[in-house]
Amino acid sequence: MVKILDTTLRDGEQTPGVSLNPHEKLEIAIKLDDLGVDIIEAGSAITSKGEREGIKAITSQGLKAEICSFTRAMTVDIDYALECNVDGVHLVVPVSDIHIKHKLRKTREETLKCALDAVEYAKDHGLIVELSGEDATRSDIDFLIELFKKGVEVGADRVCVCDTVGVLTPERSYDLFKRICGEISVPVSVHCHNDFGMATANTLSAIRGGAQECHLTINGIGERAGNASLEEVVMALHILYNIKTNIKTEKLYEVSRVVSRLMKIPVPPNKAIVGDNAFAHEAGIHVDGLIKNNQTYEPIPPEMVGNRRRIILGKHSGKAALKYKLDLMGVSLSKEEFEKVYERIKNLGDLGKYISDVDLKTIINEVRGESPERKIQLDELTVVSGNKITPVASIRLKFSGDRKEEQLIETSFGVGPVDAAINAIRKALSSVADITLEEYHVRSIGSGTDAFVEVTVKLRRGHEVVEVKSQQEDIIRASVDAVMEGINLLI
């Protein structure tokens, strides 16, 4: 059994442009705990007052996971961690000569003493201590082992080898951890970065070499090229190496999307395990194989990780794929309608477009001459913005539910008038559908202050994604129209 330390809320939050408030940190922590993560690195208590509030919110929840804070080998860091009521600290000490000489401006002896003093201080205050060697994979291995051995002597519960700039290779990783694990009496952890795209492979090799714990992030987010991806490492361990963890794999997709939404970092479509294309198929020969046996082109069932199979229609699709797709959707077409829909799909495919489920429903409606009911209509929109005025939008929507028609009225603020208007729409619809805005783009059509603008939005509801464009002279109206159209398509 391999333990998982999730550092999404610390190393992951250090992704450029990402900053979580305490409520968002708590929401992610609860999801991680429900996922089955053994240890949650909730942040770095020394960072700020807001960071400490977030960590305290997490430690007050009584989660099953061990909660720790990142600290340097300094008593002030440990004191702030204690203030947050964490179970332990991830105590990180630079160990490479590059870091010791140029960052710390100390000697090895001084660095070693600071590390041991910090470990003793943390243990004296009742904390679990995981002692990490920063930039360990560029350090003198003998010095690293000396630090670990002496750290264990003064109470360190675990030690961790950090591949801080991602320079390990799978071969070196296996050899390094085999030696360290053979000489250290406590569990050894691995912490890999993805600078050369090998974080997952290096983590797996470290576990083969004897590591009993690995540091991972959801979606592989993190500084620079990111950290080892939790979903990739866990599924490779489970499926390829028959090594178990406590992770509930069927929740991986859900947690991935929560982190993506709160950190505002889209998951690449081709991301392993949790990407929207991870179980997507378009080529006719692939779809034909899937119809006969899903295992022909899928290494695992998508449901195992909470994802789903997607049959993509485009220029590579055959009629069998369209028929299979229609059967899955429970749609019956006449022979003439089928041929018209297929022709439309091929024509759009030649233009470089793939056909989503929402697109296919739209094509079917057009072929049949049907106009889908707009369940949500905009009745009124008022936006106030100006100098020294926080932009605020009030909106009134008419929602045609299954049994009755109701008015949805909401007001919301934003960083600008467009943001306020879209926030108001989302707030009004929160009780109707959980729809998230994944992308928003604006471009000018023409020149001058009265030029048209084209707004493109990408919206998601569960696994369904739709992209809509709207052109108007008014950027607020264009944005609202695009969002409303997308919401109606999804609903």
Domain boundaries, the chain: 3-263, 280-368, 376-490
- Helices 319-329, 357-368: inter-axial angle, 10-degree rounding: 90
User: Contact at 8 Å (CB) between 40 and 75?
Assistant: no
User: Contact at 8 Å (CB) between 75 and 93?
Assistant: no
User: In whole angstroms, what is the distance from residue 489 CA to residue 131 CA?
Assistant: 52
* Residue partners of 373: CB distance under 8 A and separation at least 6: 400
Please list the pLDDT of the chain residue by residue as tens digits (491 residues).
Answer: 999 999 999 999 999 889 999 999 999 999 999 999 999 999 999 999 999 999 999 999 999 999 999 999 999 999 999 999 999 999 999 999 999 999 989 999 999 999 999 999 999 999 999 999 999 999 999 999 999 999 999 999 999 999 999 999 999 999 999 999 999 999 999 999 999 999 999 999 999 999 999 999 999 999 999 999 999 999 999 999 999 999 999 999 999 999 998 998 989 989 999 998 888 776 666 676 776 777 777 899 999 999 988 777 777 777 888 888 888 778 888 888 899 888 888 887 777 776 777 778 878 888 887 776 678 888 888 998 888 788 899 988 888 866 677 888 889 998 888 889 888 888 888 777 778 888 888 887 767 666 778 888 888 887 777 888 888 888 888 888 888 888 888 87
For domain 3-263, give the CATH number: 3.20.20.70
Strands (E), 168-247: 188-192, 213-216
* Residue partners of 31: CB distance under 8 A and separation at least 6: 251, 254, 255, 258, 259
Do 3-263 and 376-490 show the same overall fold? no
What is the Cα gyration radius of the chain? Answer: 26
* CATH architecture of the region 376-490: 2-Layer Sandwich (3.30)
